């Protein structure tokens, strides 16, 4: 296994009608990462794939072209094809339990209600892979979760999303060079500081 190679996975739905929706947050972050590294996505097996070198590391970035609930097929395939260990795989996804404009990095854990994470865990047979969870909030009435995650951010929310995406890109780059623990210490602290300035946001779930 190549200990200087990393798989960065953005979760979303590849069909055009889902572009820009809350559930495609992972795509947005990984696309921004590819742009920052001047890498271009090409259609490949089960995913759009881009490659870049960064400070001696090789980053393989994928956006699965399966439906969200089959994302694990692409992750399993590309981990095996590129000979990358799961602890060198960062999965970027949306998260209902975090306020808009924040993100949190975790080393492992369950999938909660996120069908993409659940399928990755099912396909890999374990949940020991880092994930970067981007907050989309949960400002919806009971029973309207699907409509909410497949909806688009308001203009006010987008003002908070853009700097969050930029920070997430820096966090992923840090993950590949400084390691997971140091990256969590640095960037999860930023996330807490940001939420402390937004008293109107629900931070109980952080």
Phi, psi of 103 (to 5 degrees): -145, 165
R_g of the chain computed on alpha carbons: 16
114 is catalytic: no
Report pLDDT digits (tens) over 23-44.
Answer: 999 999 999 999 999 999 999 9
Residue 203: inside a domain, yes or no?
A: no
Residue 125 lies in a domain: yes
In terms of residue numbers, what domain contains 157?
5-196
Classify residue 204: in a domain, yes or no: no
Is the residue at 206 inside a domain? no
Check: CB of residue 98 under 8 Å from CB of residue 203: no
CATH assignment of the domain containing 110: 3.40.50.1470
Q: What percent of the chain has pLDDT over 70?
A: 90
Nearest to 122 by CA among 138, 111, 108, 131: 111
The answer to whether position 132 is within a domain reads yes
Instruction: Judge whether 82 lies within some domain.
Output: yes
Is residue 137 situated within a structural domain? yes
Reply yes or no on whether the pLDDT at 190 is more than 90: no
In contact, 197 and 203? CB cutoff 8 Å:
no
Tell me the pLDDT tens digit for each residue of 83-108.
Answer: 999 999 999 999 999 999 999 999 99
Reported as a single tens digit per residue, the pLDDT across 134-149 is 999 998 999 999 999 9
- CA angle, corner 61, sides to 58 and 67, nearest 5? 155
Tell me, yes or no, whether 35 lies in a domain: yes
Q: How many domains does the chain have?
A: 1
**Residue 198 has what pLDDT?**
46
The answer on pLDDT for 58 being more than 50 is yes
């Amino acid at each position: 296994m190549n200990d200087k190679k990393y798989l960065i996975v953005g979760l979303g739905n590849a069909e055009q009608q889902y572009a820009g929706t809350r559930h495609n947050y992972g795509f947005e972050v990984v696309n921004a990462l590819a742009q920052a590294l001047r890498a271009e996505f090409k259609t490949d097996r089960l995913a759009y794939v881009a490659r870049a070198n960064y400070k001696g590391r090789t980053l393989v970035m994928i956006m699965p072209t399966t439906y969200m609930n089959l994302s694990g097929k692409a992750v399993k395939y590309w981990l095996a094809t590129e000979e990358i260990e799961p602890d060198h795989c960062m999965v970027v996804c949306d998260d209902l339990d975090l306020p808009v404009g924040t993100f949190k990095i975790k080393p492992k854990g369950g999938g909660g209600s996120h069908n993409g994470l659940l399928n990755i865990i099912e396909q890999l047979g374990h949940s020991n892979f880092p994930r970067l969870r981007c907050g989309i909030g949960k400002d919806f009435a009971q029973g309207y979760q699907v409509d909410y995650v497949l909806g688009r951010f308001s203009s006010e929310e987008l003002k908070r999303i853009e700097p969050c995406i930029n920070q997430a890109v820096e966090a992923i780059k840090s993950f590949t060079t400084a390691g997971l623990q140091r990256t969590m210490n640095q960037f999860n602290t930023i996330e807490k500081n940001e939420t402390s300035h937004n008293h109107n946001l629900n931070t109980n779930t952080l």
